[in-house]
Structure 1
Amino acid sequence: MNPPPKPLSVETRQAILHYGTPDFDVLQTGDYVVCAVSGKPIPLERLTYWSVELQEAYANADLMTRRWVETHPRA
C-alpha cells in the first residue's frame, strides 16, 4: 500500500502594487502585500485600505488611521 500523497506546497509571492484612487495597479503579480504598520501579509483579495500618498497598504481601518496620525502631526 502506498502512503497518501503529500499536499501540494502552496508558495505565495509578494505582489508589488501602485496604489491609486480608487484602485491599485499590479506592477508585479503576487498573492499578498505587507501591512505597513503590523508587518503582516494581506491577501490581495482582502486588501481594502491603503495610502495613495505614502504608497502603503494596511490590514484594517484602525491601522490605517494610526499611520495617518503618525504621519500628519498637528502643527
Structure 2
Amino acid sequence: MQPGYPQGVSDKSKVVAGVLQIVLGGFGVGRFYMGDTKTGVIQLIVTLVTCGIGSIWGLVDGILILVNGGVDGQGRPLRD
C-alpha cells in the first residue's frame, strides 16, 4: 500500500480506471489497472471472439466505474 492513503482505500484512481476502460476496455486495460486480471482476460477474450463487438462491454464497464466507483483486486474501494 502507498503511504498517504487511508487503509482500506485503494491507491488506484476510479477516474484513471474508468477512462482506460472506456478507451481500451475491449482489451480489459482498466480491469488490469485495477488488479482484476480475471475480468480483464475475459473481456479480452470476448472482444477477440466476437471480432470487436464485445468491446461494448468495456465501454459500459468504464462508464459504470466512473459513475459508481469500483473495487481493486484486493476488494478495496477505488479512490476518487
Query: Greater helix share, 1 or 2?
Result: 2
Q: TM-score normalized by structure 1?
A: 0.26
State the TM-score, normalized to the length of structure 2: 0.25
Greater share of residues in strand: 1
